[in-house]
Amino acid sequence: MNEVELVARHLEVIRAVQENQPIGILKLSEILKIPSHRVRYSLNVLEQSGYIKASPAGAVATGKAAELIGSLNEDLDSLIRLIESVKTRQDEEPYGVQDDASRNGVKKSD
């Protein structure tokens, strides 16, 4: 699993907690169709980051989670624009690619 997939899973868990709180690991696992050990790992990461809190009845979302979910679409749109601009620049001229003349400091004549 790469980092993007891991972050996506954490976001799924935050959303599910926010929509079903308080909720336990087994119920989250059932709802998300993710093995319970992965849900437990995501919950641990999210709790350490302050997005959820453990309670006797199960996980509950914090205000920080609500802020994250609220700004997520805008943040993802910004990220998509950034990735597209990087891709466009790379398609135009890959970094580090130079012809022999420019590498030697010689200007090309027309």
Output the pLDDT for position 110: 46
Strand, helix or coil for residue 40? helix
- Structurally, at CATH architecture level, domain 1-94 sits in Orthogonal Bundle (1.10)
DSSP 44-55: HHHHHTTSEEEE
Listed as own residue / partner, the contacts of 49-56 with beta carbons closer than 8 Å and 24 or more positions apart are: 51/14, 52/14, 52/17, 55/22
* Confidence (pTM): 0.68
38-93 tens-digit pLDDT: 999 999 999 999 999 999 999 999 999 988 888 877 878 888 888 888 877 777 76
- CB contact at 8 A, 41 and 34: no
Distances in whole angstroms, Cα of residue 42 to Cα of each of 2, 14, 87: 14, 9, 31
Q: What are the domain boundaries of the chain?
A: 1-94
